[in-house]
């Protein structure tokens, strides 16, 4: 039987990104669901403004965490870089076929980084959280007049004689009615995309967790604990091992 070997895989920045992202998504989901059901919960306008403020501040942390991870894709170790989790590249489709065939045959190939199918799901997750971050920033500006676009939105909708910097949410007396309606029409597609991207993200998160559990059971490699320790323990030869991959 092959000897178990320990490999350094996920660097500290990648692990921190992952768990900060998990916490932000949980918190944003909890607050977002309350906001979506504000009517049935009897939440006042002041309460909605407070909830949206909390949602936006968590969203800022979520967005900054994503931006840092995108930068780290140029700076991190080989498993954190773009080529390690984006699908494609020479031999990628052959790797997908080989991985699926081996998995069905009951002797799945082991990877130190993301396996070929995981690269697809990781890319989809990154795209979705990027869409949520961008649309969320637009909604922060149009709902609460928060950065980065809140200043321009305020100038757009402020009633004559009202300081745009003093605008408050749910204060129609401070808005030019026609401009406010035009702004809400501008906002609507971002709100729709944000909502449906959230629903799709929830589905992908469930599938992601299920895939991790299945991979842990079928392949080993302590995938879950590796996202805490940074190390995978694998029996046999990883498909993507380099000479400096083992220590």
Tell me which residue range forms the domain holding 84: 4-235
Give the whole-angstrom CA distance, residue 123 versus residue 113.
14
Does residue 35 fall inside a structural domain?
yes
Does residue 55 fall inside a structural domain?
yes
- To the nearest whole number, what is the mean pLDDT of the chain? 91
Give the whole-angstrom CA distance, residue 38 versus residue 180.
22
What mean pLDDT do residues 37-44 have? 91
CATH number at residue 103: 1.20.950.20
pLDDT tier for residue 172 given thresholds of 50, 70 and 90:
very high
Give the whole-angstrom CA distance, residue 5 versus residue 247.
8
- Domains contained in the chain, number: 1
Does residue 173 fall inside a structural domain?
yes
**What would the pLDDT profile of 197-216 be if each residue is shown by its tens digit?**
999 999 999 999 998 888 77
């Amino acid at each position: 039987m092959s000897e178990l070997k320990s490999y350094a895989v996920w660097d500290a920045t990648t692990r921190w990104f992952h768990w900060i992202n998990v916490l932000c998504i949980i918190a944003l989901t909890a607050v977002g669901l309350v906001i979506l059901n504000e009517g049935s919960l009897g939440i006042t306008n002041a309460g909605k403004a407070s909830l949206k403020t909390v949602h936006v501040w968590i969203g800022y942390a979520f967005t900054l965490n994503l931006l840092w991870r995108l930068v780290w894709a140029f700076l991190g170790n080989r498993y954190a870089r773009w080529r390690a989790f984006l699908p494609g590249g020479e031999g990628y489709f052959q790797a997908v076929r080989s991985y699926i065939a081996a998995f069905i045959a009951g002797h799945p190939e082991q990877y130190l980084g993301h396996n070929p199918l995981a690269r697809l799901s990781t890319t989809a997750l990154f795209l979705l959280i990027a869409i949520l971050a961008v649309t969320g920033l637009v909604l922060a500006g149009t709902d609460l007049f928060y950065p980065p676009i809140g200043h321009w939105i305020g100038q757009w909708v402020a009633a004559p004689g009202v300081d745009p910097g003093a605008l408050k949410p749910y204060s129609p007396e401070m808005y030019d009615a026609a401009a406010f309606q035009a702004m809400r029409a501008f906002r609507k597609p971002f709100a729709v995309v944000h909502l449906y991207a959230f629903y799709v993200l929830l589905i992908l998160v469930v599938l992601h967790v299920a895939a991790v559990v299945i991979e842990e059971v079928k392949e080993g490699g302590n995938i879950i604990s590796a996202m805490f320790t940074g190390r995978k323990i694998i029996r046999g030869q990883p498909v993507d091992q380099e000479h400096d991959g083992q220590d």
